[in-house]
Amino acid sequence: MSTHDAVTPASARIILICSGKGGVGKTTLTANLGIALARLGERTVVIDADFGLRNLDLLLGLENRIVYTAQEVLAGSCRLEQALVKHKLEPNLSLMPAGNPRMLEWLTPDDMKTVANLVAERSDYVLIDCPAGVEQGFKNAAAACREAIVITTPEMSAVRDADRVIGLLNSQGIQPVQLVLNRVRPKMVANQEMLAVDDVTDILALPLLGLVVEDEQVIVSTNRGEPLTLNGTSSPAARAYVNVARRLRGEGVPLIDPSKERRGLRARLMAKLRKSGNS
Amino acid sequence: MTLIDFIQRLLGRDKPSGALARERLQLVLAHDRSDLNPELLEQMRREILEVVQKYVEIDLESGDVSLETGDRVTALVANLPIRRARPLAIPRTAGADMPDGVVGHGEIGASTDQRTDPDEVDAEKAAVADPPLPG
């Protein structure tokens, strides 16, 4: 699929990763998806568009290797290759670091477009880690993308904010927009104490690109600065992120069914009671 | 879920919170997507009722104008039980006197068809466009 020698400007997929609400897993998804795509042989660049509160460098373990940022690229004071930070263990992946927060005063949608199109010239996938909110930072990042992944958790506030973002993406004609449902707790879903997967997909009316169950290993991997997808696919979240990457490339990978996960005694008992109550 | 929650549930006193979340979300999203605040909705409800009342007698107690949502489309749903048509209906030729943009005479008149059953319900749906464009 990759054509590493030819320059293919228009063919790169520029994908916005956004959520509206903060803390639902945008940056974690960007880092893991970036590594997963790179490991599948795709030349991938992740752009940190969160100039105010940048963190993508930290999750990738590249925070000490940043010399130049998008600011110097836009100012023309460094070459693109100088700003791009190549991942030490996964050379197919590079990071375009966010510039200084003061840039937010003058940064425009066209600036983000310029940066994204520049890196797209030499890659197969460009992932833009969007800031939280629906204000200027979001508008800048959204202007640069051609398609989008909305990530949310099965919580009311996250779903509501995702709905707002989807409305904005639709009004800008961004297509396709796909959904990743993060931090699903199968036990709580089985106990009906959490929005079910179908509830969220029905309400948001988006195709489901991936389903990530709550996984403590995500925190451990952040502590280490090594995304889970970097070290094989041992944990549930790592498997889910790799599956998102494969589905993005068009592979038919079936979704996991959280209700098929092993249930506790109480959940099984409740399910039985409900069944006998309905009949 | 604590043991007490579990017992409450067994006794049927407590609804699972997942279903509650879904209902509350659908309601709040209906309003978010239409970008109408409660006061505006109330004003629109009053005006719709005024217009409809010019033509038919409606049951104000059980009448309802609300927003419903599904599949990213929000609908304004008016559920107005009609008691009877006004005996002194405005002549059909008076169409030009009607305020702009109100429901036409013929539409309502045709569906009520002089029925006097108070339980007769006429629901009128109007699709509101997808989430409004950002400012």
Q: Is the pLDDT of residue B61 over 80?
A: no
Q: Is the pLDDT of residue B130 over 90?
A: no
Q: Report the C-alpha gap between B98 and B58 in whole angstroms.
A: 19
Residue B5 maps to a domain: no
Q: Report the C-alpha gap between A212 and A264 in whole angstroms.
A: 20
Contact A190/B at CB under 8 A? no
The ipTM of this complex is 0.76
Identify the contact set of chain B against chain A, taking CB-CB distances under 8 A: 1, 6, 9-10, 16-19, 21-22, 24-26, 28-29, 32-33, 70-72, 130-134
pLDDT band at A257 (very low <50, low <70, confident <90, very high): confident
Tell whether the torsion through CA atoms of A38, A44, A45 and A50 is positive or negative: negative
3-state secondary structure A65-127: HCCCCHHHHHHCCCCHHHHCEECCCCCCEEEECCCCHHHHHCCCHHHHHHHHHHHHCCCCEEE
Mean pLDDT of chain B: 66
Residue B133 maps to a domain: no
Give contacts of B29 with chain A, Cβ < 8 Å.
160, 163, 203
Residue B37 maps to a domain: yes
As for how many domains chain B has, the answer is 1
Q: Dump pLDDT digits (tens) for A14-62.
A: 999 999 999 999 999 999 999 999 999 999 999 999 999 999 999 999 9
Query: Contact A192/B26, CB-based, under 8 Å?
Result: no
Residue B54 maps to a domain: yes
**Structure-derived torsion over alpha carbons of residues A182, A185, A190, A192, reported in degrees to the nearest 10:** -80
Q: Is the pLDDT of residue B30 over 80?
A: yes
DSSP B26-44: HHHHHHHHHT--HHHHHHH
Give the DSSP H/E element, type plus range, for residue A247.
Answer: helix A236-248
Domain ranges of chain A: 13-278
Give the pLDDT score at B93.
54
Chain B nearest CA to A262, separation (Å): 17
Chain A nearest CA to B84, separation (Å): 38
Q: Residue for token digits 């970008």?
A: B35
- A-chain residue closest to B14, CA distance: A193
> Which of these, A162, A146, A258, A159, lies nearest to A211 by C-alpha position?
A258
- Does residue A9 have a cis peptide bond before it, meaning omega lies within 30 degrees of 0? no
Give the pLDDT score at A278.
55
Q: Report the C-alpha gap between B86 and B104 in whole angstroms.
A: 15
Q: Which amino acid, residue B123?
A: A
Mean pLDDT of the region B69-95? 70
Higher-confidence position of B48 and A165: A165
Q: Report the C-alpha gap between A23 and A45 in whole angstroms.
A: 22
Query: Contact B1/A159, CB-based, under 8 Å?
Result: no
Give contacts of A194 with chain B, Cβ < 8 Å.
17-18, 21
Give contacts of B18 with chain A, Cβ < 8 Å.
188-189, 192-196, 199
| Residue among B22, B72, B132 whose CB faces A199 most closely | B22
Domain around B93 = 15-128
Q: Dump pLDDT digits (tens) for A70-127.
A: 999 999 999 999 999 999 999 999 999 998 888 888 999 999 999 999 999 999 999 9
- Write down the CATH number for the domain with range A13-278: 3.40.50.300
Contact A40/B at CB under 8 A? no
